[in-house]
Chains A and B, each alone.
Chain A
């Protein structure tokens, strides 16, 4: 296990508190936690691509980063109306 994979595992465990806040906290706090989780997931995909030397994984990170951004903006927009 190299240093990239170890960091990916550590950040993977860091997703657990984010998901816990997502489930247990109020909706605005859950959205904030979801935004951080999206950044974490993009980073984990980058780290796995480097750790395994698999270039397709970094394409997933390139796609996930803008999609997480757009998804969070959509949730924020919907949350204005108390949905």
Chain B
């Protein structure tokens, strides 16, 4: 087993663990606002797995595309979270500028 395979396996385990952690967060969090935090985390797991493929295959067709997918998922994560949070706030309060909750705990969204 050469060093490329070892680094790839380490990155693969780290990326898979991050994705499993994000699924766990989706399952155990109380409401949609809490669950949204884990969308970005899943993107970073995908990036680590993309880098693992890149380390294993070097800059080939499959390695470049794996890196592209990972970068796309990482960059789209915060945009998605922001847009989704904004739509949830508009849905609940009618305006996204209002505070999420004023002193009272939020109901399950």
What residues of chain A have their CB less than 8 Å away from a CB belonging to chain B?
3-4, 7, 10-11, 14, 17-18, 21, 26, 28-29, 31-33, 35-36, 39-40, 42-43, 46-47, 49-50, 55, 58-59, 61-62, 65-66, 69, 72-73, 76-77, 79-82
Interface size class of B (residues with CB under 8 A): 35 or more
Q: Are the CB atoms of A46 and B66 closer together than 8 Å? A: yes
Q: Are the CB atoms of A79 and B32 closer together than 8 Å? A: no
Min Cβ gap B13→A in Å is 8
Q: Are the CB atoms of A77 and B87 closer together than 8 Å? A: yes
**Lowest 8 CB-CB distances: which A-B pairs, in order?**
A28-B32, A39-B42, A76-B87, A32-B35, A69-B76, A80-B87, A76-B84, A29-B32
User: Quick one: given A10-B20, A43-B45, A47-B49, are A33 and B80 in contact (CB under 8 Å)?
Assistant: no
Q: Are the CB atoms of A80 and B19 closer together than 8 Å? A: no
Q: Are the CB atoms of B39 and A21 closer together than 8 Å? A: no
User: Quick one: given A26-B109, A76-B84, are A11 and B19 in contact (CB under 8 Å)?
Assistant: yes
Min Cβ gap B29→A in Å is 9
- With CB as the reference atom, state the residue of chain A lying closest to B57: A50
Contact of A40 among B23, B84, B108 (CB under 8 A): B23
User: Quick one: given A14-B19, A26-B109, A39-B43, are A32 and B26 in contact (CB under 8 Å)?
Assistant: yes
Min Cβ gap A83→B in Å is 10
A-B interface contact total, Cβ < 8 Å:
133
Residues in chain B near residue A3, CB distance under 8 A: 9, 12
Residues in chain B near residue A26, CB distance under 8 A: 32, 108-109
Interface 1/0 per residue, B76-90 and A, CB below 8 Å: 110110011011101
Q: Are the CB atoms of A17 and B32 closer together than 8 Å? A: no
- With CB as the reference atom, state the residue of chain A lying closest to B66: A46
Max chain B C-beta neighbours (<10 A), residue from A32, A47, A73: A32
